[in-house]
Amino acid sequence: MDTWKTAFFTCLVLMMGSTLYLGFALIDAGISYTYQQESLKTAIKSNEVLSRVVLASSKAYTQEDLLHLLREIDPNAFIAQEKDQLIIGDITFKFENNVLVEVVQYGI
């Protein structure tokens, strides 16, 4: 009789432990998937902005012109303006002598 009780409680503890482990693994997978989807949305939005700017920049734009263009494309975006750079999301526009020389996209 004692062997039966020991086996039952051992199986019960193992089943509860495996259920908890699988529950945590499922929650972790869901959180990881959510972060992945948000990262993908950010990358798609950045690529859309970048493609619009590249299509619209057939002329040589100054830093102020590009800042105005970016604000027209996405008025709610946070655009950081530094001395020789414009940063919007994960895209950095680099300028030398007020002329666009490089576009760098981080995070992809």
Containing structural domain, residue 22? 2-105
pLDDT of residue 55: 57
Question: To the nearest whole number, what is the mean pLDDT of the chain?
Answer: 84
Does 106 or 23 have the greater pLDDT score?
23
Residues of the chain with pLDDT > 90, as a percent, come to: 30
Q: pLDDT band for 1, please (50, 70, 90 cuts).
A: low
Strands 79-81 and 99-105: unpaired
Indicate if the alpha-carbon torsion angle 55, 61, 63, 66 is positive or negative: negative
pLDDT of residue 27: 96
How far apart (Å, rounded) are the C-alpha atoms in residues 80 and 83?
10
How many structural domains is the chain composed of?
1
What is the per-residue pLDDT across 2-20, written as a single tens digit (0 to 9) for each?
Answer: 888 899 999 999 999 999 9
| Residue 77 CB partners (closer than 8 Å, separation 6+) | 49, 70, 71, 88, 89
CB 92 within 8 A of CB 106: yes
pTM of the model: 0.53
What is the per-residue pLDDT across 46-64, written as a single tens digit (0 to 9) for each?
Answer: 777 777 777 566 557 788 8
